[in-house]
């Protein structure tokens, strides 16, 4: 099986099983991979070539982007090996690649306690700012979702979120009664 055939199969899989944002995320890597390896058999591409390909593709990019491209290529190979029952090892699992594109060290996030959040809300100078902070804290809204809210999206104690980060068409957030009164 050539890379071109494998990529066509993977594109079909993405189209039928994933959201548009995921497909768009993979498209850049797949396009570059097809340009470089199109007529080569899938099992003829070794870890060294993949390392060079990823290095050239991701030079001067953030570590998280470099890691994403590596993970996407690894997922591509896992899919092809699994679906086509190829008798080969995923070249992306080589120590050279897994060390070069390892996950960055995760630092625990500092979560504000309730008293601190209440103090921030209380100390906001303007009523608008106070309401924005309360909607975020009490309804669990992201700032991007909050700024897209229109009057028509609010009914009683519910808010319809258009285009939420989850990728769904819409979601519903519920407000406590006191926040609902302030918003009215």
Q: pLDDT (tens digit, 9 = 90+) per residue, 104-113?
A: 777 888 888 9
Q: What's the mean pLDDT in 74-87?
A: 87
pTM above 0.85, yes or no: no
Q: For 3-100, CATH number?
A: 1.10.150
> Which of 143, 183, 133 has its CA nearest to residue 165?
143
> Which of 33, 39, 34, 42 has its CA nearest to residue 84?
42
Q: What's the mean pLDDT in 47-72?
A: 89
Measured distance CA(116)–CA(122) in Å, rounded = 10
The answer to whether 175 and 131 have CB atoms below 8 angstroms apart is: no
Q: How confident is the model at residue 51 (pLDDT cuts 50, 70, 90)?
A: very high
Q: SS3 string of 9-27?
A: HHHHHHHHHCCHHHHHHHH
In the chain, % of residues over pLDDT 70: 99
What b-and-e string marks burial along 61-91, b requiring 16 or more CB atoms within 10 Å of the CB?
A: eeeeebbbbbebbbebbeebbeeeebeeebb
Top-level class of domain 116-183:
mainly alpha
pLDDT tens figures, 111-162: 889 999 999 999 999 999 999 999 999 988 888 888 888 889 888 889 998 8
- Domain range summary for the chain, segments of one domain joined by +: 3-100, 116-183
In the chain, % of residues over pLDDT 90: 19
What pLDDT, on a 0 to 100 scale, did the predictor assign at position 119?
93
């Amino acid at each position: 099986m050539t890379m071109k055939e494998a990529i066509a199969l993977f594109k079909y899989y993405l189209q039928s099983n994933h959201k548009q944002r995921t497909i768009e995320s993979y498209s850049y890597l797949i396009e570059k991979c097809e340009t470089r390896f199109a007529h080569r058999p899938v099992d003829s591409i070794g870890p060294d070539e993949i390392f060079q390909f990823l290095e050239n593709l991701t030079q001067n990019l953030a570590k998280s982007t470099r890691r994403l491209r590596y993970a996407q290529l690894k997922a591509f190979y896992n899919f092809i090996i699994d679906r086509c029952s190829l008798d080969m090892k995923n070249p992306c699992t080589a120590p050279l690649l897994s060390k070069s594109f390892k996950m960055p060290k995760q630092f625990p996030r500092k979560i504000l306690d309730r008293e601190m959040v209440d103090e921030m809300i209380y100390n906001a100078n303007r009523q608008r700012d106070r309401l924005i902070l309360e909607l975020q804290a009490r309804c669990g809204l992201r700032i991007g979702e909050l700024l897209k809210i229109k009057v028509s999206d609010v009914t009683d104690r519910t808010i319809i979120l258009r285009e939420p980060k989850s990728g769904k068409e819409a979601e519903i957030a519920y407000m406590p009664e006191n926040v609902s009164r302030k918003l009215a």
